[in-house]
A = this chain, B = another copy of it.
Amino acid sequence: MDGDGGSGAGARQQPVRRQARGERRIAQILDAAAAVLAESGYEAATTNKIAAAAGISPGSLYQFFPNKEAIAKALADRFTAQMGGAHRTAFEAADPGTVPLAELIDRIVDPLMAFNLANPGFKALFARPDMPAELSAATRPIQEALLGRVEGILAARAPGLAAADRTRGARVLIQVFKALVPLVAEAGSEDERAALMVELKRVLTGYMTALEARGGARRGDS
């Protein structure tokens, strides 16, 4: 049965004519969801907690979202849009083929890490391996966009690399970055944080150098 059957809850299906008040509420709810998610994780972020954090009743929350998953998906979409901007400025800042490696890494890692630190709810949503199917579908676009951009850089800097090697290398680079985000985020001091950023860049630089050495020539073999 596909009739939604609810009396108060619409939130989707036929497009309810949203008022300005409603748009503001949605933004409030998403802000609250990000905050609750950041400090509780996905499972412990109850819908009632999110509603309370947004300063509304549970019923009001469900005027705008049909279920918890839809809230997460909407938040993921909002993150994706913001992150999309950050990606563009990060990856298009310089020609990846000619700029020195250290500078390239600075220009990409710094804004990406800044975004991750500024949005603590982000990794609760994108870095968890155990979320509902629909949810991980919502996070896939941004994952693949990132993968594509890193592959693009590898194509420019290690043109001799086979496509499979390029994809694998990009995956490894992304995974390394993601692994060090929590370390940087939980750093005890600003000094420690800066030192960890240096180490992160050292890891990426080392691996990128290895990839360039393999893929700089035309043969892509070990």
Chain A residues engaging chain B, CB cutoff 8 angstroms:
41, 43-44, 129-130, 164-165, 168-169, 171-172, 175-176, 178-180, 182-183, 192, 195-196, 198-200, 202-203, 205-207, 209-210, 222
A41 in complex: contacting residue of B44, B130, B210, CB < 8 Å: B130
**Is A207 a contact partner of B202 (Cβ separation < 8 A)?**
yes
**Is A222 a contact partner of B199 (Cβ separation < 8 A)?**
no
A-B contact pairs, 22 of them (CB 8 A): A41-B130, A43-B130, A164-B195, A168-B192, A169-B199, A171-B183, A172-B180, A172-B183, A172-B196, A172-B199, A172-B203, A175-B179, A175-B183, A176-B179, A176-B203, A198-B222, A199-B207, A202-B207, A203-B203, A203-B206, A203-B207, A206-B210
**Is B179 a contact partner of A44 (Cβ separation < 8 A)?**
no
A168 with B199: in contact, given A130-B41, A182-B129, A183-B175 (CB under 8 Å)? yes
Top 7 nearest A-B pairs by Cβ distance?
A206-B206, A179-B179, A41-B130, A175-B179, A43-B43, A203-B207, A172-B199
A7: shortest Cβ distance to chain B, in Å?
Answer: 32
Q: How far is the CA of A119 from the CA of B165 in the complex (A)?
A: 28
Q: How far is the CA of A123 from the CA of B65 in the complex (A)?
A: 34
A196 in complex: contacting residue of B130, B168, B178, CB < 8 Å: B168
Q: How far is the CA of A199 from the CA of B222 in the complex (A)?
A: 11
Q: How far is the CA of A129 from the CA of B178 in the complex (A)?
A: 13
Q: How far is the CA of A43 from the CA of B131 in the complex (A)?
A: 11
Q: How far is the CA of A206 from the CA of B164 in the complex (A)?
A: 21
Residues of B within 8 A of A183 (CB): 171-172, 175
Which residue in chain B gives the minimum CB-CB distance to A41?
B130
Residues of B within 8 A of A200 (CB): 172
Residues of B within 8 A of A198 (CB): 222
Which residue in chain B gives the minimum CB-CB distance to A130?
B41
Residue of A200, A205, A206 contacting most chain B CB atoms (<10 Å): A206
Residues of B within 8 A of A168 (CB): 192, 195-196, 199
Q: How far is the CA of A192 from the CA of B41 in the complex (A)?
A: 32
Residues of B within 8 A of A172 (CB): 180, 183, 196, 199-200, 203
